[in-house]
Copies of this chain bind each other. A is one copy, B any other.
Amino acid sequence: MHRRRSGCPINLTLETFGDRWSLIILRDLMFGHNRTFRGLLGENIEGIASNILADRLKRLTANGLLSRSADPGHKQKFHHTLTEKAIELVPMMAVMGGWGLRHTSASEELSVRARILEDGGPQLWDEFMQELRHLHLGAPAPKRSVSAALQSAYEAAMARRRPSAHGPVHR
């Protein structure tokens, strides 16, 4: 596959998902609700190409970050779910999002989730990880849903920005 540059943990972490797309895909699986190829392709706001997505899904699965399973109700669909190894990247996602929040010109709507995760700290991260274990590994459901809180905060931010586009419509 490829040769190992060094035994440094930071380097090896980088070699596992240190390209321009792997972490984006993991982010979509963590914070979004699509697990199929088409779903991930369509949902992705950065516009990943289908050949790259196919390749990365293979690589992430080979590296033990994703698990692929058939959809019982649809012969063509496959679900890509996070493994424990990937779920343990939640703190890294939170810390990365926090840094991006402070040092890049991130858009307000997309920053809402990062801000909640950062403010929540390790305790919230653990809750979120528990929920991901429920959603992706079949573990028992936690009491309250972090993912729902993140989602509704995001939708509220979208509604603030463009009231007619994505928010709840009253007519």
Mark A residues whose CB is within 8 Å of B: 5-16, 18-20, 23-24, 27, 45-47, 85, 88-89, 91-93, 95-107, 109-111, 114
**Do A97 and B7 touch (CB < 8 A)?**
no
Residue numbers in B under 8 Å from A46 (CB-CB)? 5-6, 8, 11
Q: Which of B11, B20, B91, B106 contacts A9 (CB 8 A)?
A: B106
- Not counting A8-B110, A11-B46, a sample of 18 additional A-B residue pairs whose C-beta atoms are within 8 angstroms of each other reads A5-B47, A7-B105, A8-B45, A8-B46, A9-B96, A9-B111, A10-B96, A10-B114, A12-B104, A13-B97, A13-B99, A14-B23, A15-B104, A19-B20, A85-B103, A88-B99, A92-B95, A92-B96
Question: Is B10 within 8 A of A93, CB to CB?
Answer: yes
* Chain B residues whose CB sits within 8 angstroms of the CB of A45 once the complex forms: 6, 8
B5 touching A100, Cβ below 8 Å:
no
Contact assessment for A9 and B47 in the assembled complex, using a CB-CB cutoff below 8 Å:
no
A107 and B7 contact, Cβ closer than 8 Å, known pairs A12-B100, A13-B99: yes
Query: B24 near A14 (CB under 8 angstroms)?
Result: yes
State the Cβ distance, A100 to closest chain B Cβ, in Å: 3
A114 to B88, CA, bound (A): 16
Contact among B18, B101, B111 for A18, CB-based, below 8 A: B18
| Nearest CB on B from A114, distance (A) | 5
Q: Closest approach, in angstroms, between the C-beta of A164 and any C-beta of chain B? A: 20
Could you say which residues of chain B place their CB within 8 Å of the CB of A85?
A: 103
Task: Closest B residue to A48 by CB, please name it.
Answer: B5
Q: Are B103 and A6 in contact (CB under 8 A)?
A: no
A56–chain B nearest beta-carbon distance, Å? 13
